[in-house]
């Protein structure tokens, strides 16, 4: 009867160990997936940052081109100012409108950028939290495995002393 109980306990511990090892493999897959997801998110952040830099350069080039066009127009209109029109104020008004449009576009781009960055930071934070939980679970499983190893060693000693 004692051998049967020992054998039963041994099988229970073997089953627990197998279950713990299987769970460890599953958790490792989850950790690896979370890490890959983090890398993908970082790549997206880098891509968005590069895209914003590109749009900023494009925006600055367009502004320079518009300002050059405005100054050229200003020179041409001042030379042809024989109709008693207040062309300087018209040019100033058009320039103000272009600058307002440019400022709105810049603000919209910055808002979009900030929104995307915040979304990515939240997602990265969630994955970081998931990773911490997974690491904690893995540590707990390692402690469980060590305890099971110890208990198996004790059972082996008991079995050895019974022989």
Rg (CA), the chain: 35
State if pTM tops 0.95.
no
How confident is the model over 12-51, as pLDDT tens digits?
Answer: 999 999 999 999 999 999 999 989 999 999 989 998 999 9
How confident is the model over 79-115, as pLDDT tens digits?
Answer: 555 555 677 888 888 889 988 988 888 888 888 888 8
Residue 160: pLDDT band by 50, 70, 90 thresholds?
confident
Distance CA 10, CA 154 (A): 11
Residue from 124, 36, 38, 147 nearest 139 by CA: 147
Please answer whether residues 148 and 16 qualify as being in contact, where contact means their C-beta atoms are separated by less than 8 angstroms: yes
């Amino acid at each position: 009867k004692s051998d049967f109980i020992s054998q039963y306990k041994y099988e229970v511990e073997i089953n627990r160990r197998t279950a713990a090892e299987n769970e460890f493999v599953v958790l490792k897959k989850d950790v690896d997936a979370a890490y890959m997801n983090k890398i993908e998110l970082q790549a997206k952040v880098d891509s968005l940052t590069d895209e914003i830099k590109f749009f900023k350069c494009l925006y600055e080039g367009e502004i320079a081109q518009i300002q050059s066009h405005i100054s050229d127009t200003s020179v041409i209109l001042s030379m042809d100012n024989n109709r008693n029109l207040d062309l300087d104020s018209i040019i100033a008004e058009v320039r103000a409108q272009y600058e307002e449009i440019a400022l709105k576009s810049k603000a919209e781009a910055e808002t979009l950028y900030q929104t995307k960055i915040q979304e990515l930071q939240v997602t990265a934070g969630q994955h970081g939290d998931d990773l911490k939980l997974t690491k904690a679970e893995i540590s707990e499983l390692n402690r469980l495995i060590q305890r099971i190893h110890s208990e198996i060693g004790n059972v082996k000693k008991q079995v050895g002393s019974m022989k």
